[in-house]
Amino acid sequence: MTDAVRVLLVDDQALVRMGFRMVLEAEPGIEVVGEAGDGAEALQLATRHTPDVVLMDVRMPGVDGIEATARITTMVPDTKVLVLTTYDLDEYAFGALRAGASGFLLKDTRPAELLDAIRSVARGDAVVAPRITAKLLELAAPHLAADRRPEAADALAPLTARERDVFQLIGEGATNGEIAASLYLSESTVKTHVGRILLKLGLRDRVQAVILAYRLGVVRAE
């Protein structure tokens, strides 16, 4: 990516925004285009600046991070949302992912990991903190089960047999490298399969693929 990644900071605490700004502005290739103290202001600034990535706090007064994420991903579809929260098991986190967020990290994530996550999300990948993935899916499982429809299995009809294999591994949280090793494929081939799966199923990113896998019962929480 040759152009700078343009980032909007959203948090109701000015000191938190200041800390993130200091980290981001010290990094070449990342530009902070604005700050918002609540979800309503975030939507206004996202519409005005169309940032590549929004760093979104979840718990805010007024319009919270979940509603702001839903509005931004609908109204500014080229903008990706990376959710940040203090809690490692947060009912708001899954809601934000379902609202269209492309990633979920804890606020105590190390600066290098945060910067990597911003770049990954800007490229179109999904980011979910490894240490909380299992807890998040455990929390989500009852809601996903309730969402399943009898005809849901038909949703995978457009996929080839190999794409279904890849889809299942995506649902299990496997990286492209892990999928490649499991299916004896090259990572570039896996990347091609992932792109086709997202296109055929009308999914925004891997986060939505994981959610769909649980919804359809392709993957089940332990």
Q: Are residues 158 and 115 in the same domain?
A: no
Alpha-carbon radius of gyration of the chain: 17
- Report the predicted TM-score, pTM, of the whole model to 2 decimal places: 0.71
Indicate which CATH number applies to the domain containing 118.
Answer: 3.40.50.2300
Q: What's the confidence (pLDDT) of residue 135?
A: 58
- Residue 49 within any structural domain of the chain: yes
- Residue 209 within any structural domain of the chain: yes
Q: Are residues 172 and 64 in the same domain?
A: no
Please report how the helices 65-75 and 39-49 are oriented relative to each other, as an axis angle in degrees rounded to 10. Answer: 20
Q: What's the confidence (pLDDT) of residue 90?
A: 56
Q: Are residues 39 and 118 in the same domain?
A: yes
- Mapping DSSP to helix (H, G, I), strand (E, B) and coil, where does residue 197 land? helix
3-state secondary structure the chain: CCCCEEEEEECCCHHHHHHHHHHHHCCCCEEEEEEECCHHHHHHHHHHHCCCEEEEECCCCCCCHHHHHHHHHHHCCCCEEEEEECCCCCHHHHHHHHCCCCEEEECCCCHHHHHHHHHHHHHCCCEECHHHHHHHHHHHHHHHHHHCCCCHHHHHCCCCHHHHHHHHHHHCCCCHHHHHHHHCCCHHHHHHHHHHHHHHHCCCCHHHHHHHHHHHCCCCCC
Judged on CB neighbours under 10 Å (0-12, 13-18, 19+), 52 is buried
- Residue 170 within any structural domain of the chain: yes
Q: Are residues 128 and 201 in the same domain?
A: no
Q: Are residues 24 and 62 in the same domain?
A: yes
- Residue 222 within any structural domain of the chain: no
How many domains does the chain fold into?
2
State which of 108, 135, 162 marks the end of a domain. 135
Show pLDDT as tens, one digit a residue, over the chain (222 residues).
Answer: 458 999 999 999 999 999 999 999 999 999 999 999 999 999 999 999 999 999 998 888 888 888 999 999 999 988 999 988 776 555 666 777 778 888 888 888 889 889 988 988 887 776 765 555 555 556 655 655 555 554 556 888 999 999 999 998 888 877 788 889 999 999 889 989 998 999 999 887 777 787 788 778 787 655
Q: Are residues 22 and 43 in the same domain?
A: yes
Q: Are residues 166 and 81 in the same domain?
A: no
Q: Are residues 32 and 85 in the same domain?
A: yes
Q: Are residues 125 and 176 in the same domain?
A: no
Q: Are residues 131 and 178 in the same domain?
A: no
Range of the domain at 174: 148-216
Indicate which CATH number applies to the domain containing 163.
Answer: 1.10.10.10
Q: Are residues 122 and 181 in the same domain?
A: no
User: CA 72, 76, 77: angle at the middle one, nearest 5?
Assistant: 100
Q: Are residues 117 and 17 in the same domain?
A: yes
